[in-house]
Structure 1
Amino acid sequence: MGMKAATGEEVALRGGRTTPGIVRVGDTVRRPRQANHRFVRHLLEHLAASGFDGVPRHLGQDEAGREIFSFIEGDVPDELGFISDDALHDAATLIRRFHDLGADLAAASQVGAEVICHNDLSPCNFVFRAEIPVAMIDFDATAPGTRAWDLGYAAWLWLDLGSTDVAPAAQRRRLDLFADAYGDIATPTILGATMERQETLAMEARRQGKRDMADWAMHCLHWTRRHAVDLE
């Protein structure tokens, strides 16, 4: 995720798909302030008070106005790829804990919200140790929402749905594993949300002129729709 930084020395973080300007300073991470920084701070403080160690701690801001977070040791992938069953299981249980602990904040923030959604639950936003996810990072898109909305995106990227490297039958088994590890949600519900997230990303990327991303999302959507019966 990044080489060790001496006290006061700024070292650009590697791994993941980082927001520009993120650096490590000693045992902290400094990030440019985002529009939702107050909400993120409130969420992380709430999770810390609940004893949840699967997210960084918010430590304030520095003299440059950047947000300060605790640094979590481990590796952050910079690309999607095949994830083991053990890692898939632990990712789902970690997401479930995150959702459950934020549910009361969600209810207080927005009518009808079930949980606080991370909204970008890619493996590239998780810290791994020994190839197992132990924490999630990057809360720039965090907002109240539904479990299915967050899980649909997570399942898409953790299973790499749309890749021709894994057969639909194998992906069905892995989807069931993911749903069972999370608990209290059916595979078809997650799959429906996955297709919604794929279509949404394709449209947003096209509006933003990100043609490669739009084409990739549409490819994934077409693959998922084509194999939906096998996946459910």
Structure 2
Amino acid sequence: MHLTGGPDEIPLLGGDVTDGVVRVGDTVRRPVTSRSPFIHTVLRHLEHAGFDGAPRFLGLDAKGREILDFVDGEVAGRPWPSWVADHDRGISVARLLRRLDDAMQPFGVPDAAEPGARPAGSPEPVGPPDTFVSHCDVTPENTVFRDQVAYAFIDFDLARPTSRAVTVANLLLWWAGWHHPNDRNPVFDDVDVAVRGRALADAYGLDRADREWVPRVSVSIAERSWYSMKDRAERLGGGWQRMWDEGVGDAIRRREEWLRDSQVGLHEALMM
């Protein structure tokens, strides 16, 4: 299905790596990529499953861009507002993520879900086997709130096969402040990040077997992220290169170090 875009295009800024995203009326137009057909299939599945916390895919416009619902609501800009560290908001994100992951269970792990070859030098992932596809990038910029409650996730570009432990590790990275203290966003200055991690795992409903994995999985994600970010910067340039030049690789290494040093305390908090 091809639809014609109107003349009034409003640039949507704030993303790190996707240029050319605009709003046209009640829709969003985005450039397509090699993974777009898979992402469109995911969004169609969620729509058919009755999950209302994601934009609907509406087809392509005359310029070949994908057309998505514009999901109205409150999204964190930069610098992050203080509410990103609010306990209740974080709980609502965890609950929305659980609903998303439950809706994706019947989808399984199709071959087309694989994002590509592992970059040279990147270690094997640690953790349980992949059993479903999830968003895998639930940042504050990708979470839409209504009435201070998480309403929808947008930007499914990094959706890929995962496990409960991995999807919660991604949740804790952004909503529990699981970064090195030197790089942790100031909104988390007064937050006990281990305790917050436990609260979000509880809200998600993560079982004890998967909780055992989360600290180790978090280290593995950081370790592999360094290689994937470097690879994307070299291959794709653009926003990936800008982030690399700004020191994201060093921040990832520091996060890995902090997670390794904090394994015992993070594990104890999760398992209390």
TM-score bracket for the superposition, by shorter chain length? 0.7 to 0.9
Q: Does 1:145 align with 2:155?
A: no
**Where does residue 3 of structure 1 map in the other structure?**
none
TM-score, normalised by the number of residues in structure 2 = 0.75
Do 1:54 and 1:94's aligned partners in 2 also have CA atoms closer than 8 Å? yes
State the 1:175 CA deviation.
0.8
Shift in CA distance, 201/107, structure 1 to aligned 2, threshold 3 Å: closer
**Residue in structure 2 matching 1:182, options 192, 198, 204:** 204
- 3-state SS in 2 of match to 1:162: coil
| Inter-partner Cα distance in structure 1 for 2:229 and 2:197 | 26
Moved more, 144-153 or 168-177: 168-177
**Where does residue 99 of structure 2 map in the other structure?**
97
**Where does residue 204 of structure 1 map in the other structure?**
228
Shift in CA distance, 46/204, structure 1 to aligned 2, threshold 3 Å: closer
Shift in CA distance, 14/147, structure 1 to aligned 2, threshold 3 Å: same
Q: How does 1:95-174 map to 2 (within 5 A)?
A: 95-109=97-111, 113-164=130-181, 170-174=192-196
**Residue in structure 2 matching 1:226, options 233, 236, 261:** 261
| Inter-partner Cα distance in structure 1 for 2:225 and 2:147 | 31
- 3-state SS in 2 of match to 1:195: helix
Q: Give the percent of matched residue pairs that are identical in Structure 1 and Structure 2.
A: 31
| Inter-partner Cα distance in structure 1 for 2:22 and 2:161 | 28
State the 1:137 CA deviation.
0.8
- Over the aligned positions, Cα root-mean-square deviation in angstroms equals 2.6
Q: Which runs of 4+ in 1 moved over 6 A?
A: none
Q: Which runs of 5+ in 2 are unaligned?
A: 1-5, 114-128, 235-243, 268-272
TM-score, normalised by the number of residues in structure 1 = 0.86
| Inter-partner Cα distance in structure 2 for 1:15 and 1:167 | 23
State the 1:36 CA deviation.
1.5
Residue type of the alignment partner of 1:180: D
State the 1:225 CA deviation.
1.8
Residue type of the alignment partner of 1:53: D
Residue type of the alignment partner of 2:71: I
Moved more, 139-148 or 20-29: 139-148
Do 1:74 and 1:127's aligned partners in 2 also have CA atoms closer than 8 Å? yes
Do 1:16 and 1:77's aligned partners in 2 also have CA atoms closer than 8 Å? no
Residue type of the alignment partner of 2:92: D
| Inter-partner Cα distance in structure 2 for 1:133 and 1:14 | 20
Do 1:15 and 1:76's aligned partners in 2 also have CA atoms closer than 8 Å? no
Q: Does 1:67 align with 2:91?
A: no
Do 1:11 and 1:24's aligned partners in 2 also have CA atoms closer than 8 Å? yes
Q: Does 1:195 align with 2:232?
A: no
Q: Which runs of 5+ in 1 are unaligned?
A: 1-6
State the 1:144 CA deviation.
2.2
**Where does residue 31 of structure 1 map in the other structure?**
30
